[in-house]
A and B are shown apart, each in its own frame.
Chain A
Amino acid sequence: MTAASPAPRRLSSRRSALPVSLVVGLVLLAPLLVAAFAGSWIAPYPYDEMNIMSRLQPPGPEFWFGTDEFGRDVFSRTLVGTGSSLLMGVAATALSLMAGVPLGLIAGYKGGRAGEAIMRAMDVLMSFPPILLGILVLAVTPPAQWKAIVAIGIVYVPQVVRLARAITLELMQEEFITAARLRGESAAYILFHEILPNIWPPLAVEASLRVVFAILLGASLSFIGMGAQPPSSDWGLMIAEARPFVEQAPWIALCPGFALAIAVIGINLLGDGLRALLDPRNTGSH
């Protein structure tokens, strides 16, 4: 094969050019992932053990991040809640991408009546306040976490559709799309082999932001009792429950808030790093 010589060069340069943001993102997310899977084993106290004697304790050697109004260890609850919170964000985002990207591609590629119909449907969806939409989905049936995930996923579909459509419209002007039509490619090939690989990088950035918003929206839903149910622990729920005590015991919100911030920054860096890694222009001779 003639290709033998340049191929290793490209691979090696790709490895050497591993984006810094990707590495930092992974380093930040690693402890969260450990907590997500092993939280209940490494937590110093059971997440739901109440102790009236030590309620609203400030951070100290016994309770590193203090205790809440029922005397539960905030750190343990944060650890145990990691899995549920991350799942909420990631699953809801994945759902909105799975529904939104194909719709956006079609709306951008087809245009005309089909595109118009999709976009107007999205406008209708967007005109509902997100919380209201969540409540609508959840109110009719008893709350459960997977329903919250579905609700949040649906809420974010229009944003994904709009982004995917905007990029598709832009790419449709590119001459390599004309070149594909010129050799008689089918619409499916053009959508999934020519356009999709170019949509993916901006979507990766978008998705990393969506995860964060989804966690926060999940928190809002939990707060109004539509998401995670007490006494189960969830970052959003914890922050919500800490609100009445914010003046006497601000530490209750501190630990989950801090965890949320790490997740936000980590996922953002990961998304940005992925975008850079996936771009062939970042490898090779430049």
Chain B
Amino acid sequence: MTTAPHTRSAVPPVAVPAPASRPAAPLLDVRGLTISYGTGRGTLRAVSDVGFSILPGEVMGLVGESGSGKSTVAMAVLDLLGEGGRVESGEILFRGTDLRRLAPAERRALRGDSIAAVFQDPFTSLNPALTVGRQIAEPLIRHKRLTPRQAAVRVEELLGEVGIRDPRRVAAAYPHELSGGMQQRALIATALGCEPGLLILDEPTTALDVTVEARIIDLLAKLCDSHHLSALFVSHNLGIVNRICQSVTVLYGGVVVETGPTGRVLSRPAHPYTKGLIAALPRITAERRARLPSIPGTVAKLSGPPAACVFAPRCPFAEETCRSHPQEMRAEGDGTGVRCWKADALATTSWPDEGGTAPRRGALPARSAPLVEVEHLRKIYGASTSILPWLRRAGTVAVDDVSFTIDRGEVLGVVGESGSGKSTIGRALLALTEPSAGTVLFDGADFPQQVRRGDQTLRRRAQLVFQNSAASLNPRKTVGQAMERPLVLAGRGDAEERRRTVAGLLTRVGLPAAYADRYPHELSGGERQRVNIARALATDPEFVVCDEAVSALDVSVQANILNLLAGLRDEMGLSYLFITHDIAVVAHIADRVLVVYGGTICEEGPVGRVLRPPYHPYTEALLSAVPRLAEDGSEPPRILLEDSALPPGGRGGCAFAGRCPRKLGAVCDEQAPPVRETDQGHRIACHIPLATLAERAPVFPKLAGGDAAAR
């Protein structure tokens, strides 16, 4: 965003001429908001004394991790607090009127009209039984009293405004016929319909792929600008906040810890929590470190007003005063505030760095035979080779002719968006799914074939850590029961010995041994993920597939888990296949990386090489879509991909041809791209000659030096 809020707010919202110097009154002014939830076991304080204001035309980011109360605040503004949620005190002033004093009918009239919202999940926000056009028309008919015919015309205008090229077709479509990006555009169109003054955006891009997210964020930034919209942008993603918000409010444990202009807060954070949050973020441009700085511990739940600094238990700078006195918000001038009495003293102190900046470890072990060898792997779902011709089906190609190897002690990253086949590759490697063609060798043995013959011994040596830490543990088994089972199957020791092993494994992943008697729901997300890792390690495997293992975790917890995985690799010489959509995580932990699209490998090589030109056009688009902080360097010209509704995977041609911004022509659609090697095993599958690809400017010019080239 280039326009500063103050220049825009100088334009009065009404036509009456006003002195240009007078600052506009805030559009939304939240004061002393306290919200609690009644649970079966007493009340829980979700939000304590939260205050902030949004000027006309301003986009404010509300940032925090899970449990920070950020969505609760957004829902309170919309009067959509769930069951048990209650605003205890405070004011929510919208255009000067306290929304809490309005009758329910009056608030309802505002909602969807003057205050509109876009939520996280477009898939569940749209009613599958109604056409998209009808759902966009709904608020127009209700609030603006348009006739259905007038509304239909307006719907097409709105769809055009949110960048949909074929509004008529999309209006007539049902939600399932549209891609996630198109659905989210339709929801934005719905929100814009009544020309609201305030938009509530609750993680509007979190459920989308990175390249689609980049386009939606661009669209939102443009719309806020052209419609002079104010927005409350709820997000956990600092990079996106940096891109779209003029100011930011950081919540921790239901308390505002810091607020101010985005540039200041994100580049010179004043509160220790903000410092920790930014430090814990894996960064593409950061020096490669052995460990990420992390925030220990978990968020405490409050039942009443905070009696001390909410962050003190996790703060490395905490003193006695912090633990005995609740902190006051201190104004710092230029609209910033911080809730920490030591903020001035800590102004130049940064978050402690655990791992140092030393290279993460020594050279890779001497090249012996690779641990995992995958050759010409193909997986087709839903194919049928019936003798009856009308029952024959070609099926969907999930993985198309993929070959690669993983060395002992190596971390191979697999980066791709949804539908790229990355999870299928992981499952095929663990013989969880039968390959349609090709071989998967584990330490020289044909893994899928052994499993087919009923030999499960290789299972002990290759394990999986899941994304969803809750779903991967049986809710009816204690942690100990879950972890003991692989040992029982492997016939290791008697009950007493197994109990000791379980205790040892829990200690190894940094949990108290007494957790063996807890049920999964009694643990936090990060703790459950540690249990998952401990269970995977029970039989001393050599190879672990991490399938989006840190994607569902908060930034501070993610750093902890990444450090744990890195530590286990160094101690036990583990190899990982690290599947993720987050290229920054791969840049932090992986040695080599595969970039996959539509079931094929676009580019592969050492991490440092893949992050530098020459790029495969898809890698380049992926990198340019990564939201960045100021110190990552200026925004490059973005490469925006069409969020095509067509499933990727060209028959015979390049899988990416349908969305490629640098498509050469028919050759891309018809012929498989040649695989060309640059150096150090860096390969690109593209029809464009390497020399031409190399001409592109690096997406991250500030990429930390030398070590990538050396590896």
Q: From residue B273, how far is it (CB to closest CB) to chain A in Å? A: 25
Chain B residue, CB-CB nearest to A6 = B517
Tell whether B120 is near chain A: CB-to-CB under 8 Å. Answer: no
Question: Pick the contact of A184 from B472, B489, B535 — CB < 8 Å?
Answer: B489
When distances are taken between beta carbons in the complex, the residues of chain A under 8 Å from B347 are none
CB-based contact A176/B472 at 8 Å: yes
Question: Pick the contact of B468 from A175, A181, A197 — CB < 8 Å?
Answer: A175
CB-based contact B41/A286 at 8 Å: yes
With the chains together, A176 CA to B471 CA distance in Å?
Answer: 6
Tell whether B459 is near chain A: CB-to-CB under 8 Å. Answer: yes
Question: Pick the contact of B522 from A5, A185, A286 — CB < 8 Å?
Answer: A286
With the chains together, A182 CA to B471 CA distance in Å?
Answer: 15
CB-based contact B474/A194 at 8 Å: yes
Tell whether B463 is near chain A: CB-to-CB under 8 Å. Answer: yes
When distances are taken between beta carbons in the complex, the residues of chain B under 8 Å from A184 are 456, 459-460, 489
With the chains together, A10 CA to B432 CA distance in Å?
Answer: 36
Tell whether B33 is near chain A: CB-to-CB under 8 Å. Answer: no
Tell whether B518 is near chain A: CB-to-CB under 8 Å. Answer: yes
Q: Mark B428-455, 1 if CB is under 8 A from A, else 0.
A: 0010100000000000000000000000
CB-based contact A198/B468 at 8 Å: no
Given A174-B471, A178-B464, A286-B41, the answer on whether A3 and B514 have CB atoms closer than 8 Å is yes
CB-based contact A179/B519 at 8 Å: no
Tell whether B597 is near chain A: CB-to-CB under 8 Å. Answer: no
Tell whether B476 is near chain A: CB-to-CB under 8 Å. Answer: yes
When distances are taken between beta carbons in the complex, the residues of chain A under 8 Å from B473 are 176, 179
Given A183-B459, A184-B489, the answer on whether A285 and B522 have CB atoms closer than 8 Å is yes
Q: Mark A178-218, 1 if CB is under 8 A from B, else 0.
A: 11111111000000001001100000000000000000000
Chain A residue, CB-CB nearest to B506 = A2
Tell whether A280 is near chain B: CB-to-CB under 8 Å. Answer: yes
Q: Mark B452-492, 1 if CB is under 8 A from A, else 0.
A: 00001001100110101001111111001010011001000
Tell whether A284 is near chain B: CB-to-CB under 8 Å. Answer: yes
Q: Mark A101-134, 1 if CB is under 8 A from B, else 0.
A: 0000000000000000000000000000000000
Chain A residue, CB-CB nearest to B481 = A193
CB-based contact A280/B503 at 8 Å: no
With the chains together, A284 CA to B517 CA distance in Å?
Answer: 11
CB-based contact A179/B514 at 8 Å: no
Given A3-B516, A184-B459, the answer on whether A280 and B466 have CB atoms closer than 8 Å is no
When distances are taken between beta carbons in the complex, the residues of chain B under 8 Å from A53 are none
Question: Pick the contact of B517 from A10, A179, A180, A194 — CB < 8 Å?
Answer: A10
Tell whether A140 is near chain B: CB-to-CB under 8 Å. Answer: no
Tell whether B81 is near chain A: CB-to-CB under 8 Å. Answer: no
Tell whether B499 is near chain A: CB-to-CB under 8 Å. Answer: yes
CB-based contact B517/A181 at 8 Å: no
With the chains together, A227 CA to B62 CA distance in Å?
Answer: 68
With the chains together, A10 CA to B521 CA distance in Å?
Answer: 13
Given A1-B499, A3-B480, A185-B489, the answer on whether A179 and B522 have CB atoms closer than 8 Å is no
Tell whether B402 is near chain A: CB-to-CB under 8 Å. Answer: no
Given A183-B489, A184-B456, A184-B489, the answer on whether A284 and B471 have CB atoms closer than 8 Å is no
CB-based contact A183/B485 at 8 Å: yes
With the chains together, A107 CA to B602 CA distance in Å?
Answer: 41
Tell whether A281 is near chain B: CB-to-CB under 8 Å. Answer: yes
Q: From residue A204, how far is it (CB to closest CB) to chain B in Å? A: 14
Given A2-B513, A182-B432, A183-B486, the answer on whether A198 and B518 have CB atoms closer than 8 Å is no
Question: Pick the contact of A2 from B432, B516, B539 — CB < 8 Å?
Answer: B516
Q: From residue B577, how far is it (CB to closest CB) to chain A in Å? A: 14
Q: From residue A47, how far is it (CB to closest CB) to chain B in Å? A: 46
Q: From residue A3, how far is it (CB to closest CB) to chain B in Å? A: 5
Given A3-B516, A3-B517, A10-B517, the answer on whether A179 and B499 have CB atoms closer than 8 Å is no
When distances are taken between beta carbons in the complex, the residues of chain B under 8 Å from A183 are 456, 459-460, 463, 485-486, 489, 539
With the chains together, A33 CA to B514 CA distance in Å?
Answer: 43
When distances are taken between beta carbons in the complex, the residues of chain B under 8 Å from A7 are 517
With the chains together, A180 CA to B466 CA distance in Å?
Answer: 12
Q: Which of B505-547 contact A (CB under 8 A)?
A: 513-514, 516-519, 521-522, 535, 539
When distances are taken between beta carbons in the complex, the residues of chain A under 8 Å from B513 are 2
Question: Pick the contact of A5 from B39, B430, B460, B514 — CB < 8 Å?
Answer: B514
Question: Pick the contact of B475 from A2, A180, A280, A286 — CB < 8 Å?
Answer: A280
With the chains together, A198 CA to B475 CA distance in Å?
Answer: 8
With the chains together, A284 CA to B478 CA distance in Å?
Answer: 12
When distances are taken between beta carbons in the complex, the residues of chain B under 8 Å from A197 are 474, 476-477
Q: From residue B389, how far is it (CB to closest CB) to chain A in Å? A: 21
When distances are taken between beta carbons in the complex, the residues of chain A under 8 Å from B517 are 3, 6-7, 10
Q: Which of B551-591 contact A (CB under 8 A)?
A: none
Question: Pick the contact of B519 from A1, A185, A194, A280 — CB < 8 Å?
Answer: A280
When distances are taken between beta carbons in the complex, the residues of chain A under 8 Å from B468 are 175
With the chains together, A90 CA to B348 CA distance in Å?
Answer: 74
Question: Pick the contact of B521 from A181, A185, A281 — CB < 8 Å?
Answer: A281
With the chains together, A179 CA to B485 CA distance in Å?
Answer: 11
When distances are taken between beta carbons in the complex, the residues of chain A under 8 Å from B514 are 2-3, 5-6
With the chains together, A5 CA to B513 CA distance in Å?
Answer: 11
When distances are taken between beta carbons in the complex, the residues of chain B under 8 Å from A6 are 514, 517-518
Q: From residue B478, how far is it (CB to closest CB) to chain A in Å? A: 8
CB-based contact A280/B521 at 8 Å: yes
When distances are taken between beta carbons in the complex, the residues of chain A under 8 Å from B459 are 182-184
CB-based contact A284/B480 at 8 Å: no
When distances are taken between beta carbons in the complex, the residues of chain A under 8 Å from B430 are 182
Given A7-B517, A175-B468, A280-B521, the answer on whether A198 and B41 have CB atoms closer than 8 Å is no
When distances are taken between beta carbons in the complex, the residues of chain A under 8 Å from B463 are 182-183
Chain B residue, CB-CB nearest to A182 = B464
With the chains together, A180 CA to B475 CA distance in Å?
Answer: 14
When distances are taken between beta carbons in the complex, the residues of chain B under 8 Å from A286 are 39-41, 521-522
Q: From residue B446, how far is it (CB to closest CB) to chain A in Å? A: 16
Q: From residue B171, how far is it (CB to closest CB) to chain A in Å? A: 34
Chain B residue, CB-CB nearest to A283 = B519
Chain A residue, CB-CB nearest to B455 = A184
CB-based contact B519/A281 at 8 Å: yes
With the chains together, A280 CA to B41 CA distance in Å?
Answer: 16
Given A182-B430, A286-B521, the answer on whether A2 and B503 have CB atoms closer than 8 Å is yes
With the chains together, A283 CA to B521 CA distance in Å?
Answer: 10
Q: From residue A277, how far is it (CB to closest CB) to chain B in Å? A: 13
When distances are taken between beta carbons in the complex, the residues of chain B under 8 Å from A285 are 522
With the chains together, A176 CA to B472 CA distance in Å?
Answer: 4
With the chains together, A43 CA to B473 CA distance in Å?
Answer: 54
| Complex A-B: 13 CB contacts under 8 Å | A1-B499, A2-B513, A3-B516, A176-B474, A178-B472, A182-B464, A183-B460, A183-B485, A184-B460, A185-B485, A194-B474, A284-B522, A286-B39
Known: A3-B514, A280-B519. 17 other contacts (CB 8 A): A2-B513, A3-B499, A5-B514, A6-B514, A175-B468, A176-B471, A182-B430, A182-B464, A183-B486, A184-B456, A185-B489, A197-B474, A280-B475, A280-B521, A281-B475, A284-B519, A286-B521
Chain A positions within 8 Å of B, measured between CB atoms, are 1-3, 5-7, 10, 174-176, 178-185, 194, 197-198, 280-281, 283-286
The 10 closest A-B pairs by CB, nearest first: A184-B456, A175-B472, A197-B476, A184-B459, A280-B519, A176-B474, A175-B471, A183-B486, A175-B466, A3-B517
